[in-house]
Amino acid sequence: MDAESLRVLEHLTEVEEAAEDVLTTKQQIVDLDLKRNRNREALNALKTEMSNTENVKVCFGNIFIRFPNVKTREMIQRDQEQLDKEINDLRTGLRAKVNHLNEIQGKPELRGYNLSPLSSDELKSVNRLLKR
Amino acid sequence: MATTKVPEVRDIARIERIGAHSHIRGLGLDDALEPRQVSQGMVGQLASRRAAGVILEMIKDGHIAGRAVLIAGQPGTGKTAIAMGIAQSLGPDTPFTALAGSEIFSLEMSKTEALSQAFRKAIGVRIKEETEIIEGEVVEIQIDRPATGTGAKVGKLTLKTTEMETIYDLGNKMIDCLSKEKVQAGDVITIDKATGKISKLGRSFTRARDYDAMGAQTQFVQCPEGELQKRKEVVHTVSLHEIDVINSRTQGFLALFSGDTGEIKSEVREQINAKVCEWREEGKAEIIPGVLFIDEVHMLDMECFSFLNRALESDLSPVLIMATNRGITRIRGTNYQSPHGIPIDLLDRLLIIATSPYTEKETRQILKIRCEEEDVELSEEAHTVLTRIGMETSLRYAIQLISTAGLVCRKRKGTEVQVEDVKRVYSLFLDEARSSQYMKEYQDSFLFNETQTAQMDTS
């Protein structure tokens, strides 16, 4: 292959890699959200269907361990916070990745997405303007 | 009884009005900002197009604001065309406001008010809206009502996307919301996480066969993809003037004053400026300086010019592009002479782009472009004749003849405009030079004739 086609190939590889990166991050967010929803279901079940004194069986890897209800709840809650943080980080990173992909594809950059959002009060006041 | 009003359909021949600059699609520059001889409807004027291109790039990158550009040249040399070209190539993201110099004189509004509204229309504010929503297709709703009829209801809502499915426990309030929106299995809904507001997007395609009879409003949508709990970001661009208008009415967020006089109180403007600057400091808003184009700028008077001087210095100021065809003339409303009819102190702040008359070849090309735009076929000889007319009289007159000659040609059921058609309309419609010639010959027979009249004073 001559230098020109090598260069094209290299560029295409770069684009493909960036695109793959975006897709992976998206899938990761989906997976984490799935876990977050399962945790939420578990928390609800622990709250409504069991008394606080009962022990519950918790699955760790491939073994079940009996654990006090209150302790389990705390554990899941902590997990939940961790998940929230992780999803937020991924979403922030996703924006940079999409911008990078656009850049190497020669598409214009998405403008304005790096702004911080308006608060709900402010939004309410400009809403009539936006919902024209 | 109220009957629905059916719009009357009338059968009239569709007349398409074609604006004088409808053929302009951009400035016709290549990537290195070098002008191409004929491109995007632009012909010739290479130097001025290149200058306009440099300014355009700076505007696009947001490098200049509060600057003013003057496009000066004889009538019919493409000043408005260049301004249109700038407007077209700015793209939808940058605000562009155009007005003619005489538009600001109105009884409803003071001149400076009209000008400041135009200024504020040309400044965009970019803001972002961010909401956390839960979006999914309803698989099942289960609501348990207590047997006694009173007391708290409990329920469960199962939502799914293409990737996952989950169960939400419902409280009393959510159940009320859901029943008010008449949400049922198969609907695709979004729930705003912050406010708990539920909105129905439509019915899922997979449930399309459940009912045969349904209202026309029922919309079918795909089952949402990806995660259930999404973050939705929308970026809006609004102009400062729009924010002004909303807040000068009674129920605005910052509203302090009422009244619909059409004028906006300067207090309101100051408040908006302060708020927008605060948003900018907090990283909540971006200010996009746009372009304000004032055609026939010599129609403005002294007060307007001093207002412009002042307005250009404010920190929320767009790029001002002005066009004029005057040489050294009196400034409107004064007895002072000045180049372009613009006071020297304002001229000093301007970047001036000059346009020059078109050559014969360029005139020929412009006429060809206009013929295509107006859907008129022109024979080679007629084209040459028209070009001569354009050179000897004016380009505008030649362009006027295109559509009229086209009509004459259609009348005699021809497909291509011939020299005879052009000759016919040339004899039917006078150009400016012939018209004044006629006046001179027959001036004694006209009414209210004054032989010694000086030239009409327009200033």
The answer to whether the Cβ–Cβ distance between B169 and A30 falls below 8 Å is no
Q: Which residue of B has its CA nearest to A45?
A: B169
Percentage of chain A exceeding pLDDT 90: 35
Which one, of B57, B110, B101, B95, lies nearest residue B79 by Cα? B101
The answer to whether the Cβ–Cβ distance between B284 and A115 falls below 8 Å is yes
Confidence of residue A87 (pLDDT cuts 50, 70, 90): very high
The amino acid occupying position B265 is K
Residues of chain B with pLDDT under 70: 1-19, 62, 65, 209-216, 249-262, 449-459
Is A124's pLDDT higher than 80?
no
CA B182 to chain centre: 41
Q: What was the pLDDT predicted at A12?
A: 93
What mean pLDDT value characterizes chain A? 85
Give B252's contacts in chain A (Cβ within 8 Å): 125
ipTM of the complex: 0.80
Q: What was the pLDDT predicted at B249?
A: 63
The answer to whether the Cβ–Cβ distance between B282 and A116 falls below 8 Å is yes
Is A13's pLDDT higher than 90?
yes
Q: How many Cα atoms are found within 13 Å in the side-chain-facing hemisphere of A120?
A: 6
- Residue B72: exposure state from Cβ atoms within 10 A (0-12, 13-18, ≥19): buried
Which one, of B218, B143, B206, B214, lies nearest residue B173 by Cα? B143
Can you tell me which residue has the tokens 């348990």? B144
Give A29's contacts in chain B (Cβ within 8 Å): 226-227
Number of CB atoms found within 10 A of residue B222's CB: 13
What whole-number distance in Å separates Cα of residue B315 and Cα of residue B366? 40
Which one, of B449, B405, B445, B411, lies nearest residue B425 by Cα? B405
pTM of the model: 0.71
The answer to whether the Cβ–Cβ distance between B128 and A130 falls below 8 Å is no
Q: Which residue of B has its CA nearest to A44?
A: B169
Q: What was the pLDDT predicted at B86?
A: 85
Q: What was the pLDDT predicted at A18?
A: 92
Residue of higher predicted confidence among B149 and A11 = A11
- Select from A23, A26, A37, A46 the residue whose CB has the most chain B CBs within 10 Å, as the one to mutate to test that interface: A37
What whole-number distance in Å separates Cα of residue A74 and Cα of residue B249? 51
Is A78's pLDDT higher than 90?
yes
Contact B331, B305 (CB under 8 A): yes
The answer to whether the Cβ–Cβ distance between B231 and A91 falls below 8 Å is yes
Contact B90, B372 (CB under 8 A): no
Length of chain A: 132
The amino acid occupying position B47 is A
Q: Across residues A102-115, what is the average pLDDT?
A: 79
Q: Across residues A78-97, what is the average pLDDT?
A: 91
